[in-house]
């Protein structure tokens, strides 16, 4: 199954917390980084859909998920001029 297309969310999805959409570019960067790292490990091209890449991306997201959400939420509040 391919990764979701971040710029065109599925119109049948339930409405999500706006923070989720702000996190998507950061998650896309994690996917790109993990794909590159796995390619370096194997010394060959690796697909972003590779099972090892997917597992590594999930591990990163699980490890930094709370900090990622807090960071994005703080940036959104600052852009609206709200206190932290």
The two structure tokens encoding residue 73: 């939420």
Distance CA 28, CA 21 (A): 11
Domain ranges in the chain are: 36-84
pLDDT at 11: 67
Give this prediction's pTM.
0.70
Encode the chain (84 residues) as per-residue pLDDT tens digits: 565 565 666 667 666 677 778 888 889 999 999 999 999 999 999 999 999 999 999 999 999 988 988 888 888 888 888 765
pLDDT at 76: 84
Alpha helix stretches (DSSP H) within the chain: 18-42, 51-80
Contacts of residue 28, defined as CB under 8 A and 6 or more positions apart, other chains included, come to 6
The two structure tokens encoding residue 27: 């998650």
Q: Measured on CA atoms in the order 54, 63, 71, 16, is the torsion positive or negative? A: positive
pLDDT at 36: 98
């Amino acid at each position: 199954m391919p990764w979701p297309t971040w710029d065109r969310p599925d119109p049948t999805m339930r409405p999500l917390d706006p923070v989720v959409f702000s996190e998507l570019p950061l998650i896309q960067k994690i996917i790109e980084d993990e794909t590159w790292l796995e390619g370096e490990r194997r010394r060959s091209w690796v697909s972003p859909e590779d099972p090892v890449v997917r597992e590594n991306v999930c591990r990163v997201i699980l490890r930094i998920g709370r900090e990622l959400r807090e960071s994005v939420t703080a940036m959104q509040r600052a852009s609206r001029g709200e206190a932290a």
